[in-house]
Amino acid sequence: MNEYRLRVNGTLYKVAAHPMARLLDVLRHDLHLTGTKEGCGEGECGACSVLLNGALVNSCLVPLGQVDGAEIETVEGLGTDERLHAVQHAFLECGGAQCGMCTPGMLVASVHLLRKNRSPDLAAIREGLNGNLCRCTGYMRIFESVERAASRMNEVHG
C-alpha cells in the first residue's frame, strides 16, 4: 500500500492503495465515483474513459502508481442537473443515451474531441469516438448529439 494524491473533478483526494490498482477501481470503489463504468476490462469498449491530465484514457488500463499527482476528469465533473455541460444536454435531447452504460465514457470522449476541435465534421466525430463502443444506438444519435453540442458551444463562445 502506498499513498497517492489525485485531483478528481477539481477535488484533491489521498488514496492508500496498491500501485497496480486500476484507476477505474480507485475511482469506483475508493472514491465512490461510480459514474465511470467497466465494460470489458481490457481497453476495448471505452466505457471507463476518463481524462488524465487532459488526455483521453481507458481507466481500466491505468495503474494508480503511474498517476500520482494527476488531474482526472470523469462524467461526474462535466456538469450538474442544474448546469449540464452542452454535450450532456445534447445527448439528452438527441437520444445519444439509451441504456446509459457507454454514456459516461462517450460523454468524456466527446468533450475531449470538442476541446481539440471546436467544429468537427462527421469524419472527425467518427474518429474521435471510435474507441467507445455503443450497442444500443447505432451511433447516429450520438453523432448528432456531438454536432449539436459543438454548434451550441460555438454560439455561446462566438
Partner 1 sequence: MGQEKVVGKPMLRKEGMAKVCGRAQYIDDLTMPGMLHGATVRSSIARGRILDIEFGHGVPWDEFVIVTATDIPGANEIAMINHDWPCLAAEVVNHPEEAILLLAHPDRHLLPKAVAAVRIRYEEWPAVFSIEESERRDPIVWGEDNVFRSYLMEKGDVDAVWTQAARIVEGEYTTGAQEHLYIENNGALAAWSPDEGLTIWGSLQCPFYVHKSLVKVTGLPEEKVRIVQVETGGAFGGKEDYPSMIGAHAALLAMKSGRPVKIVYDRAEDMAATTKRHPSRIRHRTAVTGDGKLLGAEIEIALDGGAYSTLSSTVLSRATIHAGGPYFWPSIRVRSKAFATNCPPHGAFRGFGAPQSLFAIERHMDHIAEALSLAPDELRRRNLLQPGQTTATGQRIDEAIDLEHLMVRAKGASDYAAKRDRFAQENAGPGTKKRGIGLAAFLHGSGFTGSGESYLNSLVAVDVTAEGKARVLVSSTEFGQGTNTILCQIAAETLAIDYEAVEMGPPDTGLVPNSGPTVASRTSMVVGRLVHSAALGLKRTLVAGGLLPQDGYTTEQFVTAARTYIAQYGALRSESRYEAPPGVHWDDQNYRGEAYAAYAWAVYVAEVTVDLTTWGITVDDFVAVQEVGRVLNPVLATGQIEGGVAQGIGWALYEKVAWNRGRMQNNQMTNYIIPTAQDIPPIRVFFEERPFGHGAYGAKGIGELPMDGPAPAILNAIAHATGHQFDCVPLLPEEIFRQMTVPEPKQEAMAL
Judged by the rule CB under 8 A, the positions of this chain that interact with partner 1 are: 28, 33-42, 44-45, 47, 74-76, 78-81, 84, 88-89, 91-95, 97-104, 107, 125-127, 129-130, 132-143
* Least spacing, CB of residue 158 vs partner 1, in Å: 25
| Residue 23, amino acid | L
Neighbour tally for 10: CB within 10 Å: 9
Residue from 42, 49, 40 nearest 87 by CA:
49
Name which of 70 and 111 has its Cβ closer to partner 1: 111
Sequence-ordered alpha helix ranges (H) in 84-158: 86-94, 103-116, 122-128, 140-157
- Angle (CA) 108-50-18 rounded to 5° is 165
* Least spacing, CB of residue 55 vs partner 1, in Å: 19
Name which of 36 and 69 has its Cβ closer to partner 1: 36
Q: At what angle do helices 140-157 and 103-116 cross, to 10 degrees?
A: 40
Name which of 69 and 123 has its Cβ closer to partner 1: 123
* Least spacing, CB of residue 152 vs partner 1, in Å: 15
The DSSP code for 16 is E
Name which of 70 and 78 has its Cβ closer to partner 1: 78
* Least spacing, CB of residue 73 vs partner 1, in Å: 12
Name which of 7 and 43 has its Cβ closer to partner 1: 43
Residue from 74, 110, 70, 71 nearest 89 by CA:
110
* Least spacing, CB of residue 98 vs partner 1, in Å: 4
